[in-house]
């Protein structure tokens, strides 16, 4: 199946073609260009075999918009307290997660969920842990910026916030260049567009696995990692039934391709009759249907070694513990308020049947997961905070 997937991707790759020649510098600055032309002028730096991401027609990509988005992503002036940016909870060296079990917002409020990796976020068919309807980055970012329950950045939708940005000469120039046809470039809408454009460039596909699989470098993986890879793709473990395709993830979108939403209950909790804790019941909160209890999206496993703690609530500390959870076919919590045997949940996915691994096999599987770490992505200067200065309090 993976082979078939690879062929499909290879065909796509041929169709998408190697990176197009770069258009005229800052093409979007020319007001005569329409959206269609602007889209094709952008030169994606796609990892080999990755398809071209879907881009909404009202927010075409451009180099300068991506640069603006990068500045804004790391700009702490976008929080009520002046010390939190998107980059606080989405740190590059941790594949744009925060290293915490649950995120902490500007005012110290603890989020019920764990911050997600933004690696390859451009491809996710639906965003966040459990919302099948949220499919635009432009829309998602309104939650961290303005949300009140919980407060993440706690920004007021108040033009005064924009005035603060407007006095920054460099930002001003970037807004002008990124939105040349807009008489009022500095707006919340354009701020969101730029942040989304930057996030679409967070592409990660140069791990040792990719060197082995796509570039035929046999020594990119150790023997243990190769054994672990076989286990990962095996029927017995069925990891790849949910963590699928080039992104080792739930459903994806890309140009000309759109999958259906998919969420699963992995048997993390079973309080009574399969209930998850009332603090977070996944898809059930949206639909109210019993069978949607505890269903969440399967996140990407790319860079998984650096994104712990794991799961929507950060309740599993290590990769070894994640594998134990799948091996018993659902987590058995013996004591306390969360007590219950997840493997007996009526709502658990029928793809989870448990399995037995020797100690060596378990080590091999963990080793394989570690080879999905893309070191170049974690230190790519194009994705890092812009340089700090007196007028640019980034980071």
Give the range of 7-15, 59-67, 86-94, 216-224 binding ligand HEC by CB under 6 A: 86-94
Q: Could you give the string, one character per residue 239-278, with x where binding to ligand HEC holds by CB under 6 A and - elsewhere? A: x-xxx--------------------x-x-x----------
Q: Which is nearer to ligand HEC, 30 or 107 (CB)?
A: 107
Contacts 24+ apart (CB under 8 A), 241-248: 241/351, 242/298, 242/349, 242/351, 243/298, 243/300, 243/301, 244/5, 244/298, 245/5, 246/5, 246/9, 246/49, 246/50, 246/51, 246/205, 247/120, 247/123, 247/300, 247/302, 248/300, 248/301, 248/302, 248/372
Could you say whether residue 55 binds ligand HEC (CB under 6 A)?
no
Neighbours of 102 (CB within 10 A): 17
Q: How far is the CB of 347 from ligand HEC (least distance, A)?
A: 12
Q: Which is nearer to ligand HEC, 23 or 87 (CB)?
A: 87
What is d(CA 349, CA 195) in angstroms, rounded to the nearest whole number? Answer: 35
337, with CB counted inside 10 A (0-12, 13-18, 19+), is: exposed
Applying the rule CB under 6 A, the residues between 342 and 371 that interact with ligand HEC are 349, 351-352
Cα torsion angle, 177, 178, 182, 184, sign:
negative
Residue of 54, 59, 62, 88 interacting with ligand HEC (CB under 6 A)? 88
Q: How far is the CB of 210 from ligand HEC (least distance, A)?
A: 18
Q: Which is nearer to ligand HEC, 60 or 330 (CB)?
A: 330
Tokens linked to 36: 């269609």
Of the candidates 201, 86, 90, which has an alpha carbon nearest to the alpha carbon of residue 145? 86
The beta-strand segments (E) located in 302-380 are 332-333, 340-341
Q: How far is the CB of 140 from ligand HEC (least distance, A)?
A: 5
Applying the rule CB under 6 A, the residues between 101 and 120 that interact with ligand HEC are 103, 105, 111, 113, 115-116, 118
Applying the rule CB under 6 A, the residues between 307 and 326 that interact with ligand HEC are 307, 310-312, 319, 322-323, 326
Residue pair 248/372 in contact (Cβ under 8 Å)? The answer is: yes
Please tell me the count of residues contacting ligand HEC according to CB under 6 A.
Answer: 51
Binding site for ligand HEC (CB under 6 A): 84, 86, 88-90, 103, 105, 111, 113, 115-116, 118, 121, 124, 127-129, 137, 140-141, 144-145, 152-153, 195, 199, 237-239, 241-243, 264, 266, 268, 296, 298-299, 301, 304, 307, 310-312, 319, 322-323, 326, 349, 351-352
């Amino acid at each position: 199946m993976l082979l078939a997937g690879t062929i499909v991707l290879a065909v796509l790759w041929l169709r998408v073609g190697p990176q197009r020649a770069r258009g005229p510098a800052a093409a979007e600055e020319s007001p005569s260009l329409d959206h269609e032309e602007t889209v094709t002028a952008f030169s994606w730096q796609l990892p080999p075999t990755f398809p071209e991401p879907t881009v909404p027609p009202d927010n075409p990509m451009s180099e300068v918009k991506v640069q603006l988005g990068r500045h804004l992503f790391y700009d702490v002036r976008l929080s009520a307290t002046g010390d939190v940016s998107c980059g606080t909870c989405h740190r590059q060296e941790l594949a744009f997660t925060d290293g915490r079990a649950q995120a902490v917002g500007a005012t110290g409020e603890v989020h019920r969920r764990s911050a997600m990796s933004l690696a390859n976020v451009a491809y996710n068919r639906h965003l966040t842990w459990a919302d099948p309807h949220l499919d635009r980055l432009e829309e998602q970012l309104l939650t961290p910026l303005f949300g009140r329950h919980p407060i993440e950045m706690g920004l007021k939708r108040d033009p005064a916030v924009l005035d603060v940005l407007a006095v920054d000469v460099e930002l001003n120039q970037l807004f002008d260049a990124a939105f040349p046809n807009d008489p009022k470039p500095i707006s919340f809408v354009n701020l969101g567009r730029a942040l989304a454009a930057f996030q679409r460039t967070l592409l990660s596909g140069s791990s040792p696995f990719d060197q082995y699989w796509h570039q035929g470098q046999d020594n990119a993986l150790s023997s243990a990692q190769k054994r672990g890879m076989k286990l990962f793709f095996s029927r017995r473990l069925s990891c790849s039934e949910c963590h699928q395709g080039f992104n080792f993830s739930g459903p994806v979108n890309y140009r000309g391709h759109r999958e259906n939403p998919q969420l699963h209950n992995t048997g993390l909790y079973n309080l009574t009759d399969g209930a998850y804790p009332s603090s977070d019941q996944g898809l059930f909160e949206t639909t109210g249907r019993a069978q949607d209890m505890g269903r969440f999206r399967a996140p990407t496993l790319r860079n998984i070694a650096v994104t712990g703690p794991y799961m929507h609530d950060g309740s599993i500390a290590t990769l070894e513990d994640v594998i134990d959870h799948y091996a018993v076919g659902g987590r058995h919590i013996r004591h306390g308020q969360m007590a219950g045997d997840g493997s007996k949940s009526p709502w658990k996915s029928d793809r989870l049947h448990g399995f037995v691994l020797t100690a060596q096999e378990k080590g091999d599987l963990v080793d394989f997961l570690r080879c999905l770490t893309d070191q170049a992505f974690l230190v790519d200067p194009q994705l890092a905070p812009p340089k700090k200065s007196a007028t640019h309090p980034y980071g």
